């Protein structure tokens, strides 16, 4: 059994949502396979426009037909109760449950984190059995209390302090592809990279609740040394690996991914935590095998251990390691601190880097083409030899030689 499969099996039955014991216990279980720091934020703490909500505690819940023996309980499935349901005890006719019952062919996964509501999730056949005769009793014994938003973090230091960031979300209960597969992919990468002595860059891994966790971290992380990052999710499907591109115009991440046989999807401001990190102009994308909402098991109880594909999941991890090994060899650079605050083009003549005779075109000189692109691209932060080569149309070896000239002139820093 692969590491990914063992992690998925271990975490499958733990009931998780945004805050509280389920996430904390899951992180403790993950630490049986690796080591992460378990950190937390308190309910009421604010980050940007968001506030960490209270923890939701579910003690018991059931829905039953008062005239038959048909009954459904929260013990049947971690998806049974609308997450963050208010407490309720009521008896109604079936038609009076409108807005409080969520149906699908399988039990759907539904949440109400930031608006007051209550309800149950079930299959169409379960609802049919409940409504066959008379009134229905519904009872949810729950409580909203100040709690903690837990997340796990691990930094694997390389030869330089510049980081590549990988994240995934840990709040979904009993859903394998979305998203225990992403969580266990992170665990595997942490273990594999921790045993390598050849890591040039540093690697930061974070497991957190979706959206609110990313907003919190995007407001707190120091991005000044983050080269790029990616979310891993829905990574155990049977389709080809898909990469959702970074929205940055001159993305190093996009350029590196294009060397691989992945399906490429343009950025749009929908999806997962890439929305939050991209808001901060971080070079950030998403790796998956089946993009969210594009597989029939999405957000329902059929996304379970029976539909899980360990073989495809392992291949995803293998390919991610190949990508990391490629990224670890990339030549990154940035404008040196001496020149980073200067506006406008640099006066290259004083560095003996500009042509001697004016009146000719810059694009008639290969070195000038590379220099102009290199300095232009670095204005937005980190760039790399691969991106400069792609934009300039010149060979990567030639680009690296020119980058070394710029470094010798103290105009850029090679990382």
Confidence tier at 270 by pLDDT (50, 70, 90): confident
- pLDDT mean over 25-54: 96
To the nearest whole percent, how much of the chain has pLDDT over 90?
80
In terms of C-beta distances under 8 Å and separation of at least 24 residues, what long-range contacts does 69-74 make, across chains too?
70/129, 70/130, 70/132, 72/120, 72/122, 72/126, 72/130
CB 288 within 8 A of CB 234: yes
Domain end (from 145, 170, 190) = 145
Classify burial at 398, counting beta carbons within 10 Å of its beta carbon; exposed 0-12, middle 13-18, buried 19 or more: middle
- Which domain does 355 fall in, by range? 332-414
28 and 121 part of one domain:
no
Alpha-carbon gap, residue 250 to 97, rounded angstroms: 51
CATH number, domain containing residue 59: 3.50.30.90
Amino acid 278: pLDDT: 87
Q: State mean pLDDT over 296-302.
A: 96
Q: Mind listing the pLDDT tens digit for each residue in 392-415?
A: 999 999 999 999 999 999 999 999
Q: In this predicted structure, which of 236-240, 252-256, 337-341 has the lowest mean pLDDT?
A: 337-341
Same domain, 204 and 290: yes
Is there a single domain that holds both residue 188 and residue 136?
A: no
CB atoms within 10 A of CB 1: 8
Would you say 202 and 26 are in contact if contact means Cβ atoms under 8 Å apart? no
Q: What share of the chain is helix, strand, coil (3-state, %, to 5)?
A: 35, 25, 40
What's residue 356's pLDDT?
52
Q: Is residue 246's pLDDT more than 70?
A: yes
Indicate the burial class of 69 (C-beta count within 10 angstroms; 0-12, 13-18, 19 or more).
exposed
DSSP symbols for 371-405: HHHHHHHHTTS-EEHHHHHHHHT--HHHHHHHHHH
DSSP character at residue 225? G
Q: How far is CA 177 from the centre of its chain?
A: 14
Residue 357 has what pLDDT?
43
Region 275-296 average pLDDT: 90
Instruction: Decide if pLDDT at 359 tops 50.
Output: no
Q: Where residue 91 falls among pLDDT bands split at 50, 70, 90?
A: very high
Q: What is the mean pLDDT of residues 380-397?
A: 92
Q: Tell which of 328, 349, 379 closes a domain.
A: 328
Quote the CA–CA distance of 388 and 250 in Å, as a whole number: 9
- Can you give the length of the chain in residues? 415
What's phi and psi for 280, nearest 5 deg? -95, 15
343 and 252 co-located in one domain? no
- Do residues 174 and 301 share a domain? yes
Q: Distance between terminal CA atoms of the chain?
A: 39
Whether residue 227 sits in one domain with residue 178: yes
92 and 175 belong to one structural domain: no
351, pLDDT greater than 80: no
Q: Judge if 256 and 170 occupy the same domain.
A: yes
Q: What are phi and psi of 108, to 5 degrees?
A: -80, 160
pLDDT digits (tens, 9 = 90+) for 311-339: 999 999 999 999 999 999 999 999 988 77
| Residue 379 pLDDT > 90 | no
What value does the mean pLDDT of the chain take? 92
CATH number of domain containing 290: 3.40.630.10
- The whole-angstrom separation of Cα 43 and Cα 27 is 19
For residues 351 and 300, membership in a common domain is answered with no
Q: Which residue in 277, 271, 314, 274 sits closest to 293, CA to CA?
A: 271
Is residue 40 within a helix (H) or strand (E), and if so which, with residue range? strand 37-42
Mean pLDDT score, 124-146: 95
Please give the structure tokens belonging to residue 375. 């300095």
Strand 242-244 to 202-208 pairing: unpaired
| Residue 281 and residue 163 in one domain | yes
pLDDT bucket at 66, cuts 50 / 70 / 90 = confident
pLDDT at 138: 97
| Contacts of residue 52, Cβ cutoff 8 Å, sequence gap at least 6 | 19, 41, 42, 43, 44, 45, 46, 149, 212, 216
Residue whose entry in the numeric block shows the structure tokens 């040039």: 200
Find out whether 277 and 229 touch, Cβ atoms under 8 Å.
yes
Residue 334, number of CB atoms within 10 A of its CB: 21
The answer to whether the beta carbons of residues 42 and 72 sit under 8 Å apart is: no
> How many domains, the chain?
3
Q: Which string of DSSP letters, residue by residue, matches 285-337? A: EEEESS-TTSSTTTTBTTSSTTT--HHHHHHHHHHHHHHHHHHHT--EEEE-H
C-alpha neighbours within 13 Å on the C-beta side of residue 379: 12
Task: Identify whether residues 406 and 290 lie together within a single domain.
Answer: no
One domain for residues 257 and 116: no
Q: What is the pLDDT of residue 354?
A: 61
Average pLDDT over residues 338-351: 66
What's the rounded Cα separation, in Å, for the pair 326 and 318?
13
What SS3 class is residue 212?
helix
**Spatial contact of 149 and 212, defined as CB atoms under 8 Å apart:** yes
Indicate the pLDDT class of residue 352, thresholds 50, 70 and 90. low
Residue where a domain stops, chosen among 328, 359, 382: 328
pLDDT of residue 365: 79
Q: What is the mean pLDDT of residues 172-197?
A: 96
Phi, psi of 176 (to 5 degrees): -80, -60
- Apex 26 CA angle, 22 and 30, nearest 5: 175
């Amino acid at each position: 059994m692969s590491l990914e499969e063992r992690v998925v099996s271990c975490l499958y039955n733990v009931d998780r949502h945004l805050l509280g014991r389920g996430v904390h216990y899951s992180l403790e279980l993950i630490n049986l396979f690796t080591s992460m720091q378990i950190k937390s934020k308190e309910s009421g703490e604010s980050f940007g426009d968001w506030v960490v909500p209270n923890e939701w505690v579910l003690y018991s819940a059931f829905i039953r037909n008062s005239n038959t023996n048909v009954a459904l309980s929260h013990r049947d499935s971690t998806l049974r109760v609308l997450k963050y349901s208010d407490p309720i005890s009521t008896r109604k006719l079936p038609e009076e449950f409108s807005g409080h019952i969520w149906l699908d062919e399988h039990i759907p996964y539904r949440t109400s984190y930031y608006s007051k509501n209550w309800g149950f999730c079930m299959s169409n056949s379960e609802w049919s059995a409940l409504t066959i005769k008379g009134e229905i009793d519904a009872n949810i014994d729950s409580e909203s209390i100040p709690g903690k938003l837990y997340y796990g973090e691990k930094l694997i230091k390389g030869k330089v302090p510049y980081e590549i960031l990988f994240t995934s979300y840990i709040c979904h209960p009993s859903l394998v592809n979305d998203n225990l597969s992403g969580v266990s992919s992170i665990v595997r990468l942490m273990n594999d990279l921790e045993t390598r002595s050849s890591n040039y860059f540093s690697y930061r891994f974070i497991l957190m609740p979706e959206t609110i966790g990313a907003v919190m971290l995007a407001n707190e992380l120091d991005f000044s040394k983050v080269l790029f990052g990616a979310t891993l999710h829905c990574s155990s499907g049977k389709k080809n690996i898909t990469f959702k591109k970074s929205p940055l115009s001159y993305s190093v991440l996009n350029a590196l991914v294009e060397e691989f046989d992945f399906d490429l999807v343009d950025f749009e401001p929908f999806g997962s935590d890439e929305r939050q990190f991209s808001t901060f102009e971080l070079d950030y994308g998403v790796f998956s095998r089946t993009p969210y909402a594009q597989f029939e098991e999405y957000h329902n109880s059929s996304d379970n251990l029976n539909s899980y594909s360990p073989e495809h999941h392992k291949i995803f991890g293998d390919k991610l390691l190949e990508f990391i090994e490629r990224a670890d060899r990339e030549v990154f650079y940035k404008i040196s601190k001496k020149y980073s605050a200067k506006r406008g083009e640099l006066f290259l003549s004083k560095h003996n880097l500009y042509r001697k005779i004016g009146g000719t075109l810059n694009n008639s000189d290969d070195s000038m083409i590379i220099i102009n692109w290199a300095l232009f691209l670095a204005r937005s932060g980190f760039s790399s030899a691969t991106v400069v080569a792609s934009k300039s149309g010149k060979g990567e070896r030639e680009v690296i030689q020119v980058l070394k000239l710029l470094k010798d002139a103290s105009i850029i820093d090679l990382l």
